[in-house]
Amino acid sequence: MNSDGWLQALAGELHRRGLDPDLSRHVVAEAATHLRDSGEPPLQVFGPPATYATAVAESVGAPQPGGGVGVARVAMPVRPPHTPGPVRLEVRGITKRYRRRPVLTSVDLTVRAGEIAAVVGANGAGKSTFLRICAGLLSPDAGRVRVHGTLGYCPQSGGTADFLYPEEHFVLVGAGRGLHRAEARAAGRAHAGALDWEPAGRTQARHLSGGTRQKLNLVMAALGEPDVLLLDEPYQGFDRGTYLDFWQQLWRWRADGRAIVVVTHLLNQLDRVDTVLDLTPAREMSA
């Protein structure tokens, strides 16, 4: 099944499960972007359309009346209550254009230790661009980013070396974080275990499923216990159980005092984060 056929089938499966049409379009658009950018077969990344649609439907729950992809830039209630720590990430006035098309315009964000910030927005709103700028991988046209502490970054796709085994990734990234080989392996296994993944074995990264490669990316981002974690939809290809494990891990990191920024389109989790940054252009939100 090619990508177009898979995406059409996914749209039909989401409709049959009663998802809000706006949310369904957004899920399909995000999946299409991932497939286009990665060049990977959809069945390898997401599995059968019916299976992925079921996981999405169970994750988002029943559609809310008047729901859609637009979410205001507001602080959300924190569960359980806690006192945020010092500022770890400061973003001020970030602006980015590609050729003459504006992608980000004067974007601000502050995230403190012990907070999770969710970045949402329509397809093409600049979510991945924003995270790449925060990670120092892309320069803005205007504005500044300040990171107070160490940083880990999990991309939406890529990030792994095809011919390395998972534990070789742990050793390589761990060396850059000051970990000895044994420490890096142990830390990698511990983070993988939190995602219900056993990374031992002699399987090269190129032979891992899309969801397992995302687990590998997430583990590498967490090695060395960085102060700031930037996560670009790292749950792509996760089944429902692993998706729930992922959010449990985020809340554990928040309780440990990490500052977390996560790009997400599964909007039922937004009442469990501390800040929401919506990058949807104002003209689209008012349409």
Q: Where are the domains of the chain?
A: 3-60
pLDDT at 162 over 70: yes
At 176 the pLDDT is 92
Q: Is the pLDDT at 212 greater than 70, yes or no?
A: yes
Reported pTM: 0.73
Distance CA 133, CA 94 (A): 9
Backbone dihedral angles phi then psi of residue 143, each to the nearest 5 degrees? 100, 180
Cβ burial of 135 (10 Å; 0-12, 13-18, 19+) is buried
Tell me what pLDDT residue 76 has: 32
Calculate mean pLDDT across residues 99-113: 92
Average pLDDT, the chain: 82
- The pLDDT score that the predictor gives to residue 204 is 92
Q: Look at residues 273, 267, 278 and name the one whose alpha carbon lies nearest to residue 127.
A: 278
More confident site: 125 or 226? 226
pLDDT at 78 over 50: no
Q: What is the pLDDT of residues 40-75, one digit of tens each?
A: 788 877 778 888 887 777 655 544 333 333 333 333
Q: Which residue has the higher pLDDT, 27 or 95?
A: 95
Least confidently predicted of 41-55, 111-125, 166-180: 41-55
The average pLDDT across 186-194 equals: 92
